[in-house]
Copies of this chain bind each other. A is one copy, B any other.
Amino acid sequence: MENAVLITIGDEILSGNTIDTNSNFIATELKNIGIKVSQIFTISDEIETIKNAIASAFEMGDLIITTGGLGPTRDDKTKKAIAEFFNDEIALDEATFNHLKNYMERRGRLEILERNREQAFVPTKSTVFQNHFGTAPCMMMEQDGKLLFSLPGVPYEVKPLIKDQIVPFLQEKFKLNYISTRIISVVGIPESILADTIEDWELALPENLALSYLPVGTRVKLRLTANGENETLLQEQLEEEIQKLLPLIKDNVIATSEDKIEKILAEILTERKLTISTAESCTGGELAKMITSVSGSSKYYFGGMIAYATEKKIEILKVKKETVDQFTVVSEQVASEMAKGCQQLFKTNISLSTTGVAGPGKGEDGKDIGTVFYTIRIDNKEITSKLYMPHLERLDFMNFVSQKIIQDLVGLLISE
């Protein structure tokens, strides 16, 4: 059980209506138990197409996971394709029907519609994994030691099926080891010197642990991977080794568990007991959302203000009207005053502000779209920067700018 192939079924993805996020989730979960996704087929809801994709996938890997094509309003072509591929028939499965009835009763839908009843029909050779968050069951087929799982397409249903049922099932059946990973972010030390400094530690690592170096810009990421049967033990082992590593390079380590910039920020703020707030204009809440996307952020994020209208910047954030009149609302000066007002309003160590025009369409001040000024204020020091990204679409702009500000802030905090 080494290679998996994913098959995403559904015209809504091919037509550009929906972005496929299931594949990403499944690939990540499989990676944690040492299974690599070698290919993804995204195909339309046609019986022949599905059968062809299954045949190709079985040539490439031992495990196939299909998502989509099992809804109550569809023709259930996926089920038919699977039955045909495995020379099987579709029949009513009593256990699945009872599960479905209970599921719908609990939701107050006492009469089972005919089209829902059809969802309890599955290939007779299949093993059913009941879906606790939707009406389409998950089916498993087995042939020559290879497995096919067929899941519905709704991400809220896919996630628990994969995490709570399929991954534990695969681990049990194939005695798969867990793989736990920690990322240690190191700055301010060249890779070669870092390697020398930690050489003894690296050589003394237990056999089931592996270290790799990933340089990213001015940062070196050390990836420490542990492989073993018991997840809890692995995590303890990783923590133990990191505790041995830290004294060697303590001043250069900015984060020891996470890779995403907002999670690195979380580690730094928590470690140093710093608090933060935001005052946004053109990023429209994206900056706050990025910060609060980290679980536990309520410990350091006190709150934020989205001051879209100029008068709210003046009233609530105490930006001076004269500053707006003299420099326009999209200016270094307004960004700076927003950050100051924000810091006072929320009483935080750090405040971040943005003012700009995300476009398309010109801002009220007539400046070109794609311009943003942002201020990072730490205690009584502050830096204001400008970005000009006219080629970005609105949401990309909001996202890019927010990401950049958090990166800059992390950079400032670690260089202090």
**Structural contact, B303 and A308, CB atoms closer than 8 A:** yes
Q: Kindly state whether residue A346 has any CB partner on chain B within 8 Å.
A: yes
**Structural contact, A16 and B31, CB atoms closer than 8 A:** yes
**Structural contact, A289 and B285, CB atoms closer than 8 A:** yes
Residue-wise interface mask of A (12-42) relative to B, using a CB-CB cutoff of 8 A (1 in contact, 0 not): 0111101111011111111100001111111
When C-beta atoms are compared, the residue in chain B nearest to A287 turns out to be: B285
> With A308-B301, A359-B295 as given contacts, are A289 and B39 in contact (CB-CB < 8 Å)?
no
Q: Kindly state whether residue A145 has any CB partner on chain B within 8 Å.
A: no
**Structural contact, A304 and B306, CB atoms closer than 8 A:** yes
Interface size bucket, A side?
Answer: 35 or more
Docked Cα-Cα span, A44 to B4, in Å, equals 13
**Structural contact, A43 and B39, CB atoms closer than 8 A:** yes
How many copies of the shown chain assemble into the complex?
2
Residues of B within 8 A of A363 (CB): 298
> With A44-B38, A305-B305 as given contacts, are A16 and B27 in contact (CB-CB < 8 Å)?
yes
Q: Kindly state whether residue A125 has any CB partner on chain B within 8 Å.
A: no
When C-beta atoms are compared, the residue in chain B nearest to A278 turns out to be: B306
Say which residue of B15, B21, B284, B293 sits within 8 Å of A293 (CB atoms): B284
**Structural contact, B23 and A40, CB atoms closer than 8 A:** no
**Structural contact, B308 and A297, CB atoms closer than 8 A:** yes
User: Which residues of A294-330 are within 8 A (CB) of B?
Assistant: 295-298, 301-309, 312, 316
Residue-wise interface mask of A (257-290) relative to B, using a CB-CB cutoff of 8 A (1 in contact, 0 not): 0000000000000000000001010001111110
Residues of B within 8 A of A312 (CB): 302-303, 346
Residues of B within 8 A of A25 (CB): 16
Residues of B within 8 A of A361 (CB): 295-296
> With A14-B36, A14-B39, A24-B16 as given contacts, are A289 and B289 in contact (CB-CB < 8 Å)?
yes
Q: Kindly state whether residue A207 has any CB partner on chain B within 8 Å.
A: no
Residues of B within 8 A of A159 (CB): 391, 393
- State how many angstroms separate the Cβ of A166 from the closest Cβ of chain B: 15
Residues of chain A whose beta carbon lies under 8 Å from any beta carbon of chain B? 8, 13-16, 18-21, 23-31, 36-44, 49, 132-133, 155-156, 159-160, 278, 280, 284-289, 291-293, 295-298, 301-309, 312, 316, 345-346, 358-361, 363-364, 391-396, 398, 400
**A–B Cβ pairs within 8 angstroms, 8 of them:** A13-B23, A40-B43, A156-B400, A278-B285, A285-B291, A295-B359, A303-B306, A304-B305
Q: Which 9 residue pairs across A and B have the least CB separation, nearest first? A: A284-B292, A285-B288, A16-B28, A16-B27, A40-B42, A285-B285, A285-B289, A304-B306, A303-B312
